Chain A
Amino acid sequence: MDIAYFIELLINGALTGMMYGLAALGIVLIYKSSGVPNLAQGAMVMLGAYFAWIAAAQWGIPLPFAIALAVVGMFLFGLFTERFLLRRMVGQPIIMIVMLTLGLEILLRGLGPGLFGAAPKSLDIGIGLAPIIIGDVFINRSYLVGAIVGVIMIGLALLFFRTRLGTKLRAVSDDHVASWSVGISVERAIAISWGLAGASAVAAGVMWGSVQGIDWTLSLLLFPAVAVVILGGLDSIYGVLVAGLIVGILGSVIPGYVDPIVGGGTRDVVTSLIILLTIIFRPHGIFGREDIERV
């Protein structure tokens, strides 16, 4: 067995995993404050990438400002989604809300290419293509930068939930009525979490968009992102970090050895197996909270 090949799969898998984490973060942000599993996050990542591309390539705004503009745009998109779609669903069964987000995902997947053209757009964020070579191991430079961004975003999310606003958001996820009773505006808290999920989608969209180009396939990130949040626990930021690594590494190492034998496509199988096995054996995920039962 070629050890360098293994290490390469391992490292690039870990880096990819952190980038999955970037996409998964938005799902956790929303779930942690409103208890809604947002299946539209994949399309929001795609939309975030389109926004950044329009600002940078179409309007010629320098990249950092273009990304900032996209963040603002997606924050607003998140706010509007909550205001006009989710708020109407308050008190409805959770399955209706899940279906609503799924519908939004499908709608946006269709609208994106429709509005911006189906051909993949390239977004150059100034990361060279040459791999970093350590010994015999080739490391993808874009993945490395993406992973660093991922870790930074996860760290920011952790810090955010310790602030006053973040504490209020966690309170809202615990108990809506109690939050109202002490003056927390539940609607505003949920709107903010959607806005933040939109903003984090830009980070994911830009990083993935620079790697694989911007088109509707970016929304397929929903699949590994869902695997990450299910394995890590829907409401755990640490879970995103750890499960991101696991999903990334397994999704890289296993296909690295099995794909040549079966002819490809193992990665999706691995991802689905992770989802299925987690739900069967540990429904709350690794760090997901179980409801506290006091004896």
Chain B
Amino acid sequence: MTSETAQAEAEPQAATDIVPPLLRMSNVEVAYDKVFLAIKGVSLELNTGGMVALLGSNGAGKSTTLKTISGLLAPERGAVNRGSVELRGRDILPLPPPARVHLGIVHVLEGRHVFGHLTPDENLLAAFPTRGRRERLDELREQVYTYFPRLRERSRTKAGYLSGGEQQMLAIGRALMTEPNLLMLDEPSLGLAPMLVEEIFGIIREINKQQDVGILLVEQNAAAALEIVSDAYLLENGHVVMSGKADVLKQNPDVQEFYLGGTGKVDYHNVKHYRRRKRWLA
């Protein structure tokens, strides 16, 4: 009797230990053209249904990190030198990009990359598996149009003629057609008006909540990103230099200085020197 209860108590504990996180990236190093090191030992974790931001300046290695996970390094002659990327404990590095999509990883590329000569309807259709059921297609398409009603109005215009915001919506909607467990978004706010950024971020949060999709958000707009995510990683020169809860990071003076536009009390005379001293060079 006592042993039984002890077992019952132990089980959930053991379960949380055994169940691996949705995504675990450990110590990954990626080089382009075998020469240029873009990320130098990045580790990160994302739980099922979690929402994590990857912040950093230009060239910090944010996009490379996403491409490592989605497998889109090869077209740019990038390769993983060491480290591992696991989806629910399964090593995904040997898989080609389409196989990773079937496992539930989808990557919304920077700069939207909609199929410009296809209508939004066709863009969504193209992302749906060829052998999927017709009813499922209609359901998913309906869902996308519910998230983004504006797309429904323009569903018969060529996507190349949509506005930047509409294209971004279409890129996210298209990714949802693959029914992902992990949705990776690369700079969804790029080139969009602040109002639109707010709208799109609101929808991203909704997708995360309603569908239990893990979201990995790459952003230069750190202020907006930290508002919606629970955790964040800070990348600098290919290294993770800081990570933690979004609320904590928001209070960090260095983060405020570099990513949130400062506190307003900067001594401009010393700014260059200060920046140089504070950069996390390896």
With A165-B130, A170-B115, A292-B161: A177-B75 Cβ-Cβ less than 8 Å: yes
Cα A184 to Cα B71 in complex, Å, equals 13
Q: Are A182 and B101 in contact (CB under 8 A)?
A: yes
- Residues on A lying within 8 angstroms of B by beta carbon are 91, 164-165, 167-168, 170-171, 173-185, 289, 291-292, 294
Cβ of B20 to closest chain A Cβ, rounded Å: 23
Cβ of A130 to closest chain B Cβ, rounded Å: 47
Q: Considering only CB atoms, which chain A residue lies closest to B112 in the complex?
A: A178
Q: Are A167 and B126 in contact (CB under 8 A)?
A: yes
With A181-B97, A182-B126: A174-B75 Cβ-Cβ less than 8 Å: no
Cβ of A48 to closest chain B Cβ, rounded Å: 27
Apart from A170-B122, A181-B106, A183-B102, 19 more pairs, CB < 8 Å: A164-B125, A167-B118, A168-B126, A171-B115, A171-B122, A171-B123, A175-B116, A177-B75, A177-B109, A180-B75, A180-B98, A181-B109, A182-B126, A182-B177, A183-B106, A184-B126, A291-B116, A294-B160, A294-B161
Cα A177 to Cα B174 in complex, Å, equals 14
Cα A292 to Cα B101 in complex, Å, equals 28
Cβ of A11 to closest chain B Cβ, rounded Å: 35
Cβ of A91 to closest chain B Cβ, rounded Å: 7
Among A176, A178, A183, chain B packs the most CB atoms within 10 A around the CB of A183
Q: B127 touches which one: A174, A183, A185 (CB < 8 A)?
A: A183
Cα A111 to Cα B125 in complex, Å, equals 42
Q: Are B115 and A184 in contact (CB under 8 A)?
A: no
Could you pull out 8 A-B pairs where Cβ atoms are within 8 angstroms?
A167-B125, A170-B115, A179-B126, A181-B70, A181-B107, A182-B177, A182-B178, A185-B96
Q: Are B130 and A164 in contact (CB under 8 A)?
A: yes
Cα A177 to Cα B161 in complex, Å, equals 20
Chain A residues within an 8 Å CB radius of B128: 164
Total of A-B residue pairs, C-beta within 8 Å: 84
Cα A184 to Cα B70 in complex, Å, equals 13
Q: B97 touches which one: A91, A164, A167, A183 (CB < 8 A)?
A: A183
Chain B residues within an 8 Å CB radius of A182: 101, 106, 126-127, 174-175, 177-178
Q: A178 touches which one: B71, B96, B114, B161 (CB < 8 A)?
A: B114
Q: Considering only CB atoms, which chain A residue lies closest to B129 in the complex?
A: A183
Q: Are A183 and B122 in contact (CB under 8 A)?
A: no
Whether B152 is near chain A, meaning CB under 8 Å from some CB there, is no
Q: Considering only CB atoms, which chain A residue lies closest to B160 in the complex?
A: A292
Chain A residues within an 8 Å CB radius of B158: 292
Q: Are B116 and A174 in contact (CB under 8 A)?
A: yes
Q: A174 touches which one: B106, B107, B115 (CB < 8 A)?
A: B115
Q: State which residues 28-76 of B face A: CB under 8 Å.
A: 70-72, 75
Cβ of A41 to closest chain B Cβ, rounded Å: 23
With A180-B97, A181-B113, A183-B178: A171-B126 Cβ-Cβ less than 8 Å: yes
